[in-house]
A and B are shown apart, each in its own frame.
Chain A
Amino acid sequence: MSAATASRRGSAARAERFGRAVRLWVTAGPGLAWIVAFLVLPSAILLGIGFFTSGSYGGPELPLTLQPLREVAGYSILGWSSGNITVLARSLIQAMSAGVLTVLFAYPVVFFIVTRPPAARPLLLLFIVLPSWTNQVVRTYAWMELLGPESALSHLVQSLGLLQPHLGLFPGVLAMQIGLTYNYLPYMVVPLYAAAEKLDWALVEAGRDLYASGPRLFWNTVFPQTLPGLLSGIILVVIPAFGDYVVPTLLGGGKSMMIGSLIASQFLETPNWPYGAALTIFMLVFTCAGLLAFRALSKRLGGAEESMM
């Protein structure tokens, strides 16, 4: 082999490596740039802001300090308060309740749809998904009317003696729960529907053949098959509901804040950017930890891996 062919071969290899690199950057580049510009950079800036001192107009100023993080833990110049723990607990309870409630609503709806003729199913599913195509703020405002003190629903609850006259279901924790459940229901229905549509009904028959009926039949033959969809749905509902801003702001009122509205108020009302940034970072870490814990749990439950994002 002559030196000339060897060097030609070497340059061919270099050209191919170059071509591969170009292809990689052309295909993955835009997405990567997007993530860096709109996720990594803002998060890094936010993380940085969390260590500054809050200026007189709430903006970040030097010197660097751990005060915002201490505030997240509940320590302020006025001493320790349980306020943040309450907000965190409320957010968690509301989000998890939304998860449970959407599951309870979604199962009957989904099984109603999958037992209809195939041609009718997409239309029925559309009725569930359609509202989520309209603006969330508009839909949430509608609930303010429906749950307000003069609404029929509030009158009904008042007449049952469960609510004092002239008080409405809105604003409050219950209104928030209704709003969250309503808004996130499609995110439970769609993955559950995807799982239920592929359901192997022969397994249900096998269950009946082997003496199972009613709830035991459901639990032993239907539930395991829909578990992957259920787990996806829980992630799609609980995580966004946990950080939701629109519902707690509009339906919760000042007394029942959730973490999303607490963060927003640090930027829009109080203002205290470093504290807001520290809260955001805390929430991110908390959510990621929760997601990992959930993933470990669902793996043990035998949920399919594809259900995890």
Chain B
Amino acid sequence: MAGPLVSAAMKAQHAASGPEVAERRGQIVLEDISRVFAADAIAVDRVNLVIHPGEFFTLLGPSGCGKTTLLRMIAGFETPDSGRILVSGREMQAVPAHHRPVNTVFQSYALFPHLSVAENVGFGLRMRRIARAERRTRTRRIMELLQIDAFAGRNPAQLSGGQRQRVALARALVNEPEVVLLDEPLSALDAKLRAELQVELMRMQKRLGMTFIFVTHDQHEALVMSDRIGVMQRGRLLQVGPVLDVYERPSSVFVAEFLGLSNIWPVTPLPGGLIETPLGRLAIGAPDPARGTAMIRPEKIWMYGEGGAPAGRANLLGGIVREAIYMGASTQYRVELENGAPLLVYDTNNQAAERSWRPGEAVTCELKPENIVLIGA
């Protein structure tokens, strides 16, 4: 399906620029990018990042962390105060927005209200003076792909939120850009539609092989959709890595907490692969830990009823269930350990409902050494 969507013109351009550039087609390189709005408002702070061709990359962070500013600089709507941006190996400094090989899906969709769906989708091709026949073919094909061909003649005002979102996506994809920039495109949709479109976006991206840079503040969305994630806070890129790495092995407390609930404690290392924590002394997998912080995700803790804990295991901690929040697939427990320290535990509800624990029940929690992650300072 990706084949026919790549126009002959683009292939020609491809061949002309040589094999080296072809390899970098769809690659984004950010070198020391900074953007300062005011002396005390640094939107983007010395960001270095390489996004690989054909990758679904997500910039994740709370609002105001600079992720949208970073995206707008790649699109050409804003100019970095320092640093270089390379798209497909080409320096973007002197390239205005309308000449960049990227297209944006805007948060508000920004569909042209005076144009029909088909005219919106074909806008970019018309501005590039692509011949009418080719324009029509490509517009129709992308509208079919996104299942909006039935609304081709309607105005954006007559569409639902989800349909508008598809039009905005089609309007970007029809141009076959090297990179697609998506600025929180799903944030205005309800949960169910959002889940549907998440899957569809991923499928579309794999099918077309374009690089997608997706901006969101929703960690769940980021985990579901991305190949790699870059977590941002106050203009800085804190951690970049595959979804699994960032979730399982966060490099900072901020990243650990932003990606999901966790149990985090300051720790003091002891000889023999042990750490001193507010919970007590725990064995860990890694040898010779540095002084710092340790974390365990609540779903990584095993819980046993009275007398049910296997003997001879490390890190078995007794406690009492203080709170149980039933969430359907799982239940979230707040356990008060014997020394008074709190512990958050997720347990999958894979047993009959009667077998879950109720507040007041005594339990034993197992924190397997390999599941305890050391975050560092």
Residues of A in contact with B (beta carbons under 8 Å apart): 200, 202-203, 205-213, 216-217, 220-221, 224, 302
Pairwise interchain contact B98-A205, C-beta atoms closer than 8 A: no
Which of B121-129, B190-198, B270-278 binds A? B121-129
Give the CA-CA distance A205 to B123 in the complex, in Å.
Answer: 13
Most buried by A among B106, B112, B124, B171: B112
Pairwise interchain contact A208-B106, C-beta atoms closer than 8 A: no
Residues of B in contact with A (beta carbons under 8 Å apart): 75-77, 96-99, 102-104, 106, 108, 110-114, 123-124, 127-128, 171-172, 175
Contact partner, B98, options A200, A213, A302, Cβ 8 Å: A213
Contact partner, A213, options B75, B96, B102, B111, Cβ 8 Å: B96
17 contacts between A and B (CB under 8 A): A203-B110, A205-B77, A205-B110, A207-B123, A207-B127, A208-B77, A209-B102, A210-B98, A210-B127, A210-B175, A211-B124, A212-B98, A212-B123, A213-B96, A217-B98, A220-B127, A224-B112
Question: Given A211-B98, A224-B114, does the pair A205, B127 have CB atoms closer than 8 Å?
Answer: no
Give the CA-CA distance A297 to B172 in the complex, in Å.
Answer: 33
Pairwise interchain contact A209-B103, C-beta atoms closer than 8 A: yes
Instruction: Tell me the nearest residue of chain A to B124, going by C-beta.
Output: A210
Interface of A is mostly: helix
Question: Given A202-B106, A216-B127, does the pair A209, B112 have CB atoms closer than 8 Å?
Answer: no
Give the CA-CA distance A118 to B171 in the complex, in Å.
Answer: 33
Pairwise interchain contact A212-B127, C-beta atoms closer than 8 A: yes
Contact partner, A200, options B99, B110, B123, Cβ 8 Å: B110
Set of chain B residues within 8 Å of A209, measured between Cβ atoms: 75, 77, 97-98, 102-104, 172
Say how far A202's CB is from chain B's closest CB, in angstroms. Answer: 4
Set of chain B residues within 8 Å of A200, measured between Cβ atoms: 110
Set of chain B residues within 8 Å of A208, measured between Cβ atoms: 76-77, 96-98
Give the CA-CA distance A213 to B106 in the complex, in Å.
Answer: 18
Most buried by B among A202, A210, A212: A210
Pairwise interchain contact A206-B112, C-beta atoms closer than 8 A: yes
Contact partner, A206, options B102, B104, B114, B128, Cβ 8 Å: B104
Give the CA-CA distance A208 to B110 in the complex, in Å.
Answer: 12
Give the CA-CA distance A205 to B75 in the complex, in Å.
Answer: 10
Give the CA-CA distance A203 to B113 in the complex, in Å.
Answer: 9
Say how far B201's CB is from chain A's closest CB, in angstroms. Answer: 18
Instruction: Tell me the nearest residue of chain B to A227, going by C-beta.
Output: B114
In the A-B complex, the 8 residue pairs with the smallest Cβ-Cβ separation, listed nearest first, are A210-B124, A206-B110, A211-B127, A202-B110, A224-B114, A208-B97, A213-B98, A212-B127
